[in-house]
Amino acid sequence: MNIATETELPDVVVAIDLGGTALKGSLVSATGETVATRTQPTPAEGIIEALLSVIAELLDDAVSHSRRVVAAGVVTPGMVDEIAGVVTYASNLNWRNVPLLAELQSKLSIPVAVGHDVRAAGLAESRLGAAKGIEDFTLIPIGTGMAAALVSATGPIRGALGAAGEIGHIPIVQGGELCTCGQRGCLEVYVSGAGVARRYAARSGRTRSSRDIVARLGTDPDADAVWEDATRALAQGLATVTLLLDPGVIVLGGGFSQAGSALLEPVTRHLQENLAWRDAPEVVLSSLGGDAGRIGAALLAFAKVGRLEVADSWVRDAERVPL
């Protein structure tokens, strides 16, 4: 019997999307196929230890599937210095100045890339998703909170502090409702899943998830009123993005995008109403959904070892879906 050496095994990367509520990891092959997945809740403490534990499980999965791990990509929310690999600030992880790349690289024998979750999702959308072939676009995943990937022909815009794209904290309503960040009238107070649910509860006295609120549109006046506020506020934020950056396409992702036409139709209409002298850019829904962050992490891992071109052959369809 011939036994394959390690160098003859098919290559995979570890891709980790570290969020405030869940830590989601996968092994992704050079052909874009998922080999294994691991998911667990993000702990309140010991996050790096939990992250290393999931990576160790995926490394074991690679052995059991006769694969060779060539790199790892980890993406995280917050203000991220991607060159230094430092998470300067991430409120939902309770992190300040965490040298994530150094911490991981000191424990792992494979190359590691660290990135911002939404910018990595933007990379995925540009390679495989709704922004494929478009040089200038904005991706806005909307979930518990919201941020944006701002992409130009020269690549993602990171900003001086690695904090570019914090669209959720653009003040939309002067003296408006208090945001968890300490400002008032922030966009995500009115648009995010948490914001819509909180505003519905304050208005109606009933507790509903944002998904339930969408399902009640047309039959519940409180749901209609809160959703109208949300889509108008989002359109106002998109008008600011349009006039500042002139994107060719605006891609809406995250849990909010599951509302489909209930989100897309009013936002598109209100956006055009906010633009007096120019046409609005096309607004579309993400085709990668909640997978975009992990797909982006896989791309960063392959890029770390100089093999980003492997994604040119990846196909996003029912038969073969990265991550």
**Per residue in 209-227, pLDDT tens?**
999 999 999 999 999 999 9
| CA 48 – CA 322 distance, rounded (Å) | 25
What H or E segment, with its residue span, contains residue 106? helix 100-107
Report percent pLDDT > 90 for the chain.
77
Position 20 scores a pLDDT of: 84
Position 7 scores a pLDDT of: 58
| CA 154 – CA 308 distance, rounded (Å) | 16
> pLDDT confidence of 234, banded at 50, 70, 90?
very high
| CA 127 – CA 292 distance, rounded (Å) | 11
> pLDDT confidence of 320, banded at 50, 70, 90?
very low
Q: What are phi and psi of 162, to 5 degrees?
A: 75, 20
* Burial (CB count <10 Å: 0-12, 13-18, 19+), residue 58: buried
Average pLDDT of the chain is: 91
**8 A C-beta contact, residue 298 and residue 37:** no
Question: Which one is predicted more confidently, 313 or 8?
Answer: 313
pLDDT tens column, 60-101: 999 999 999 999 999 999 899 999 999 998 888 989 999 999
Our CA dihedral for 239, 241, 245, 249, rounded to 10 degrees, sits at -80
Quickly list H helices, 142-192.
187-191
Position 153 scores a pLDDT of: 85
Across 45-67, average pLDDT? 96
Position 67 scores a pLDDT of: 96
The residues facing 113 across adjacent strands are 73
pLDDT tens column, 151-208: 998 888 988 888 889 999 999 999 999 988 889 999 999 999 889 999 999 999 999 9
Across 102-125, average pLDDT? 96
Among candidates 200, 225, 220, which has minimal Cα distance to 210?
200
For residue 98 the two structure tokens come to 């965490």
Position 322 scores a pLDDT of: 45
What region does 170 belong to: left with phi over 0, alpha with psi -120 to 50, or beta? Answer: beta
Long-range contacts of 271-279 (CB under 8 A, 24+ apart): 271/235, 271/238, 271/239, 271/242, 273/235, 274/235, 274/236, 274/238, 274/239, 275/239, 275/242, 275/243, 278/242
| CA 284 – CA 227 distance, rounded (Å) | 18
CA dist 185 to 150, 178, 180, 195, 317, Å? 22, 6, 11, 11, 40
Residue 271 CB partners (closer than 8 Å, separation 6+) = 235, 238, 239, 242, 280, 283
Across 15-38, average pLDDT? 94
Among candidates 313, 306, 312, 291, which has minimal Cα distance to 121?
291
Q: What are phi and psi of 81, to 5 degrees?
A: -90, 100
**8 A C-beta contact, residue 148 and residue 77:** no
Across 5-14, average pLDDT? 80
| CA 174 – CA 280 distance, rounded (Å) | 24
